[in-house]
Chains A and B, each alone.
Chain A
Amino acid sequence: MPNQETSLFSKYHFYWLLLAAIIFRQIPIVSVPFNWLESYFHELSHGLAAIMTGGRIVRIELFTNGAGLCTTQGGIRFFVSFMGYFGATCFGALIYSLSGKRLLHAKALCGLMIGILAITLIFWVSDILTAVIILMLIGLFALKWRIKSGYSLNILLKFTGIIVLLNSVYSPLYLIDGRSMGDGATLANLAFIPEFVWVVLWSAIGVFSLFLLAKRSQSL
């Protein structure tokens, strides 16, 4: 029986984790660091897109309410604007996919995340609040690093990836507020395609990523 139960969990672990992430997102205080994480990946994606298109990151700011701001100079504005939500989705899927079952792989992923966060802190953070938030995110991955069980670490990292993905599905929806602000409005001005279309596209990419991961998890 225990083996059957384990295999039932293993077989449908993606859906269990998705359900847990949906419930976890509703809990007010504990879900906040994961909002920061999604916001961080969003801003970092803007910055990386600017670097990839010949620009540079001036600074990255994060706020306690889950908002963020990335100041860049140069780069292709259309690409940089689009990459925010898309990049966050990519990071979420990447965390889920790279959380290997072996302890070494999972620890390597934690180390990679700590490294990226540390680079951000050193080069692109210039205010105390953002520094504190980044340090807390480093602490989040450092705590995971200390876990000795490869299976538990794998599950935790997958859970983190799914939460980031879920946030990247939901967060574009906040742009539908009639204020014409944010990345959707910027893209609408640049490409003459309504903001709503971009919002739907970003959310659809997030849902599609979840679908792909679900399919992949069942085939494993």
Chain B
Amino acid sequence: MQINSSTNTYPVTQGVNSGQNVARDSSRIAREQNVEDTTKKPAQNSERPVERLDVNEQALAIVDEQRQQQTEQEAQQQSLVLSSEGDTNNTSVEQVNNRNLTAVSAYQGVENLQQRSDIEQLFGVDLYA
């Protein structure tokens, strides 16, 4: 019996756009390697070619750079919101609250619509508001 490893066909550099993807892939590779080690017989271990985990340093550097940029952008956005709130004397806060209320009511509307159709289907009745 031969168990094929997927690590060879799944390069680490594939998820270079996201740091999280790279981390997830690396841990997955490690996990799969562990599973493989425990499931393979000792006799087969000697026949198995040695697996290599190539870490692309350039890709990691790009990921780090992207993370740093993202953090900087978030910090800038936060500072902008805070300054505009200060300028308009809580007007922006009220606007945000109103927007939140609209969002919540829209969400509840959809939820009620779903509940309504659920009840109609479940009990075979029609609801009229």
Contacts and interface: CB of A to CB of B under 8 A. Distances in A.
Given A179-B109, A181-B113, A43 B128 contact: yes
A13 B76 CA distance: 66
Nearest to B113: A181
A173 interface: no
Contact of A81 (B113, B124, B128): B128
A80 interface: yes
Contact of B125 (A46, A58, A181, A182): A58
A186 B127 CA distance: 10
Contacts of B113: 179, 181
A68 interface: yes
Contact of B127 (A70, A75, A179): A70
Contacts of B127: 69-71
Nearest to A39: B129
B123 to A, nearest CB: 8
Contacts of A43: 128
Interface in A37-77: 43, 46, 50, 55, 58, 67-73, 75, 77
Indicate the member of B113, B124, B128 with the most A CB atoms within 10 Å. B128
Contacts of A183: 128-129
Interface in B93-129: 106, 109, 112-113, 124-129
A73 B125 contact: yes
A71 B109 contact: no
A5 B128 CA distance: 47
B125 A72 contact: yes
Contacts of A72: 125-126, 128
A69 B126 contact: no
Interface in A167-192: 179, 181-183, 186
A38 to B, nearest CB: 13
Contacts of B129: 67-70, 181-183
A84 interface: yes
B109 A46 contact: no
Interface string B70-88: 0000000000000000000
Contacts of A58: 125
Contacts of A73: 124-126
B104 to A, nearest CB: 13
Nearest first, the 3 A-B pairs at minimum CB distance are A46-B128, A70-B128, A179-B109
Interface of B: 106, 109, 112-113, 124-129
